[in-house]
Amino acid sequence: MPIHDQGYRRYGGERAAHGRAWAVIAFAGIRTMLRKRSFLGLLLVAWAPFFVRAVQIYAAANVPQASFLAPTPEMFRDFLAQQSSFVFFIAVYAGSGLIASDRRANALQIYLSKPLSRVEYVFGKLAVLLAFLLLVTWVPAIVLLIVQIVFTGDVSFFVDNIFLFPAITVSAFVQTIAISATMLALSSLSKSSRYVGILYAGVIFFSQAMYGVLYQVTRDSSWAWVSFNANISQVNAFIFRMRPTYETPWPVSLAVLTIVVALSAVILERRVRGVEVVA
């Protein structure tokens, strides 16, 4: 045909299979956050403890007088615990607007009018927060393990503590999934990311304060199940085979975290809708 049609042509290429749309949402969300310089700064600061620990491991391996700094399994558990303050700020920064901003912009209707299920939408958003939280918990902890092998030049510590790799993985995932699910559920409750951030801080610190009062009244730390952070600490202690900080049994803490995640799922199911029915 000598003269070609310049008009609209249908897309004739390949299409991805159903069920992969969550990855598009996840990558878009990650790219958006990484464009913010202040967020990159926060991620950098969150890796500062890693560098401190790396120096500690190096010193312990190469300076005889510093052998008391040698890493122990406890060090890895403590490292994850210390990262919790960064986890809090990253969750607030990256997570509070995940669904709230979409609700403010009335974008949920647009998203859900595409061949994208609500589950994919939620998983995509969850993946954004999980990615960043794991980047400051699981990734540096695993890299520390590798650094330990590299700096000492032998794998004896790793072999003697072979449980550390799955322990770090499970512990990091328990923490990040509980936090991500909670934050995402809270984000779906409002159109203001600022309000969501404060709600999340309220959940964390109010539960801590309530436990504080109960402990002062009863002098019994088995009330720790009331505190979100204490439950994570209890489960982590069990995973790392350490002595727990509180008297709450770890299955109770795990059950509480599971209930929180389940409640978050229920909230998300009710709130992530294409249309809002106004009575």
Partner 1 sequence: MVTSNRPVPTIMTTAVRIFELSLGQMLWSRRSVFLAFIAAAPVALAGLIRFATFAEPRLLPQINGERLDGTALFGLMIWLLYVRFIVPVLGMFYGTSLVADEVDDKTITYLFVRPIPRGAVLIGKYLAYFVCTALLILPSVVLVYFLLVPIGGGSIGRSFPLLAVDLGVLAAGIGSYGALFAWVGARLKRPLVVGLVFVFGWEPGVLLFPGYLKRATVAYYLQGLVPHTMPQEGGVNILFQVFQEVPPVPLSLAALAGVTLVGVWLAARATETREYVLEQ
Q: Residues interacting with partner 1, by CB under 8 A?
A: 38, 85, 89, 92-93, 104, 190, 192, 194-195, 197-199, 201-202, 205-206, 209-210, 212-214, 216-219
Whole-number minimum distance, CB 90 to partner 1, in Å? 11
Nearer of residues 31 and 36 to partner 1, judged by Cβ: 36
Nearer of residues 173 and 205 to partner 1, judged by Cβ: 205
Nearer of residues 155 and 266 to partner 1, judged by Cβ: 266
Q: Among 175, 148, 147, which Cα is nearest to 237's? A: 175
Nearer of residues 49 and 197 to partner 1, judged by Cβ: 197
Whole-number minimum distance, CB 195 to partner 1, in Å? 6
DSSP 93: I
Cβ 202 vs Cβ 225: under 8 Å = no
Nearer of residues 42 and 57 to partner 1, judged by Cβ: 42
Cβ 267 vs Cβ 185: under 8 Å = yes
Cβ 77 vs Cβ 237: under 8 Å = yes
Cβ 108 vs Cβ 102: under 8 Å = yes
Whole-number minimum distance, CB 148 to partner 1, in Å? 30
Q: Is the torsion defined by CA of 181, 185, 207, 38 positive or negative?
A: positive
Q: Among 186, 182, 179, which Cα is nearest to 271's? A: 186
Whole-number minimum distance, CB 209 to partner 1, in Å? 4
Cβ 183 vs Cβ 228: under 8 Å = no
Whole-number minimum distance, CB 19 to partner 1, in Å? 33
